[in-house]
Chain A
Amino acid sequence: MSDFIQKFKDTFIEKDRWTYLTDGLKTTLIITFFAVILGMALGFIIAVIRTTHDKTGKLKLPNIIAHVYLTVIRGTPVVVQLLIIYFVVFGSVAINKIFVAVLAFGLNSAAYVAEIVRSGIMSIDNGQFEAGSSLGLNYSKTMIYIILPQAFKNVLPSLANECIVLLKETSVAGYIAIADLTKGGDFIRSQTYEAFMPLIAVALIYLVMVMIMTALVSKLERRLAKNDRR
């Protein structure tokens, strides 16, 4: 037992090593937060482009671009995308690494969000579109006030899941030397030569965050479900 306490002290208390974890956590949360916003915004736009094309035949060129985008992003690993954005796209300019990470994870997430939202829009009965347009609402008003709110509610669990996946995916940010939570734990390990404590701590922190997010989402879902018991 005293051995355990000693290891705990060495790992976290000695030289204030716990700050690697808290600072790392902060970085992880910042990257996740902004990447989620970017991913959701871009993902919604792509989804609307794709469904508008499917339903009306308009937006041919944007649809092709979106299609290529989805194929490339979903067909390559996120680490490779991260490395390419950092070393190739921004290779010759000095740039904030956090920004690069937000961009890489946001662009990656957008592809998955787009497909989730698209399936949500497609799941809405065509009668809803018809009801909207029979009242004289144009396509975009029908989309904004009638279709998207329902689609959003339907895909909320999947979107929340995507956020959780994204949070965990940011753990590869260390590839471009960002001191995120994972990197923080690994840094402690390299100093103390003791792997168990810091890595389990890192895992626990991720787990707790995911559990909190899951709880928040199911609360939100229950509140939304109240509105339309069918």
Chain B
Amino acid sequence: MIDVKGLNKSFGKLHILKDITETINQGEKVVIIGPSGSGKSTFLRCLNLMEKPTSGEIYVDGENITSMHQREVNLMRQKMGMVFQHFNLFPHLTIRKNITLAPVKLKLMSREEADEKAEELLEKVGLADKADNYPGQLSGGQKQRIAIARALAMNPEVMLFDEPTSALDPEMVGEVLNLMKQLAKDGMTMVVVTHEMGFAREVASRVMFMDGGRIIEQAPPEEFFSSPKNQRTRDFLSKVL
């Protein structure tokens, strides 16, 4: 469902992504790992054009999103949910409004339908009692679960996770990962940038190792972690495992 062809991204003189060609199929759970500065977040953020590629093409459901008008880009983003490292909840809105804002303002649902959907999602993420609270009253883990619910409210076809647990206190990482595991079990297509090797091992259908702006190696998790082929992958794994 996502086809990346010859993707390059530079920030000024800094060449972050180097000629990446990759395909992500429906139902896959791709976990991207790699050292900081390897370009993994930038790669993820290119997939829904949070970053504009310097060159190359990205196809989502067969449509080239890099040549789209802004209006079509906005439509494309509706089917690609994104979860950020720093949650980015809307602090001036209640949890319910955080979840319902986009579906209602984009006229995808009536207010009643959206409220119902929010109710259902809050149930799913285990925070049904927080609907009328503000983000400031929640813990980090709770915030991230709400951020996931907010993205799910758009009924996305794929979910992009940009280091969703990196800003959390250690004891809160579990609750977010559990929710993501549940999501994976439900069949959601997921692309996850993370440092959580346990999660990669357990949930990924494919682990991708990036370094220096390139995808160095990728394989199903059992194979990836037990017998990495590339020396750089081995070095990296020896440091993080």
**CA A107 to CA B193, docked complex, whole Å:** 50
| Contact between chains at A136 and B92 (CB < 8 Å) | no
| Contact between chains at B88 and A131 (CB < 8 Å) | yes
| Contact between chains at B88 and A136 (CB < 8 Å) | no
Which residue, B76, B90, B137, has most C-beta atoms of chain A within 10 A? Answer: B90
Q: Which of B50-87 contact A (CB under 8 A)?
A: 50, 70-71, 74-78, 80-82, 84, 86
In-complex Cβ contact of A128 among B75, B81, B90, B150 (8 A):
B90
| Contact between chains at B74 and A133 (CB < 8 Å) | yes
**CA A125 to CA B92, docked complex, whole Å:** 13
B interface footprint on A132-150 (CB within 8 Å = 1, 0 otherwise):
1111111101000110011
| Contact between chains at A136 and B135 (CB < 8 Å) | no
| Contact between chains at B88 and A137 (CB < 8 Å) | no
| Contact between chains at B106 and A137 (CB < 8 Å) | yes
A6 sits at the interface (CB 8 A):
no
Given A128-B90, A149-B92, decide whether A134 and B135 contact each other with a Cβ distance below 8 A: no
**CA A138 to CA B80, docked complex, whole Å:** 15
| Contact between chains at B137 and A229 (CB < 8 Å) | yes
**CA A136 to CA B86, docked complex, whole Å:** 19
| Contact between chains at B134 and A136 (CB < 8 Å) | no
Could you tell me the distance in whole angstroms from the C-beta of B126 to the nearest C-beta in chain A?
22
> Chain B residues in contact with chain A, CB under 8 A?
48, 50, 70-71, 74-78, 80-82, 84, 86, 88-92, 101-102, 105-106, 134-137, 150-151, 154
Could you tell me the distance in whole angstroms from the C-beta of A208 to the nearest C-beta in chain B?
33
Q: A128-B88, A134-B151, A228-B134 are in contact. List 17 more A-B contacts (CB 8 A).
A: A125-B88, A127-B86, A130-B84, A130-B88, A131-B90, A132-B102, A134-B82, A135-B77, A135-B101, A136-B78, A136-B102, A136-B106, A138-B74, A146-B90, A228-B136, A229-B136, A230-B136
| Contact between chains at A150 and B137 (CB < 8 Å) | no
Total of A-B residue pairs, C-beta within 8 Å: 76
| Cβ–Cβ < 8 Å partners of A168 in chain B | none
Could you tell me the distance in whole angstroms from the C-beta of A104 to the nearest C-beta in chain B?
35
| Cβ–Cβ < 8 Å partners of B86 in chain A | 125, 127
| Cβ–Cβ < 8 Å partners of A137 in chain B | 74, 101-102, 105-106
**CA A227 to CA B74, docked complex, whole Å:** 30
| Cβ–Cβ < 8 Å partners of A125 in chain B | 86, 88
| Contact between chains at B70 and A138 (CB < 8 Å) | yes
| Cβ–Cβ < 8 Å partners of A138 in chain B | 70-71, 74
| Contact between chains at B84 and A131 (CB < 8 Å) | yes
Chain A residue nearest in CB terms to B108: A136
| Cβ–Cβ < 8 Å partners of A141 in chain B | 105-106
Query: What are 14 A-to-B residue pairs whose CB atoms are below 8 Å?
Result: A125-B88, A128-B88, A128-B90, A130-B84, A131-B89, A133-B50, A134-B80, A134-B151, A135-B151, A136-B74, A136-B77, A136-B78, A136-B154, A153-B92
| Cβ–Cβ < 8 Å partners of A131 in chain B | 82, 84, 88-90
| Contact between chains at B92 and A150 (CB < 8 Å) | yes
**CA A146 to CA B90, docked complex, whole Å:** 7
Given A135-B154, A138-B74, decide whether A230 and B105 contact each other with a Cβ distance below 8 A: no
Could you tell me the distance in whole angstroms from the C-beta of B51 to the nearest C-beta in chain A?
10
In-complex Cβ contact of B91 among A139, A145, A230 (8 A):
A230
| Cβ–Cβ < 8 Å partners of B150 in chain A | 135
| Contact between chains at A227 and B92 (CB < 8 Å) | yes
| Cβ–Cβ < 8 Å partners of B105 in chain A | 137, 141, 145
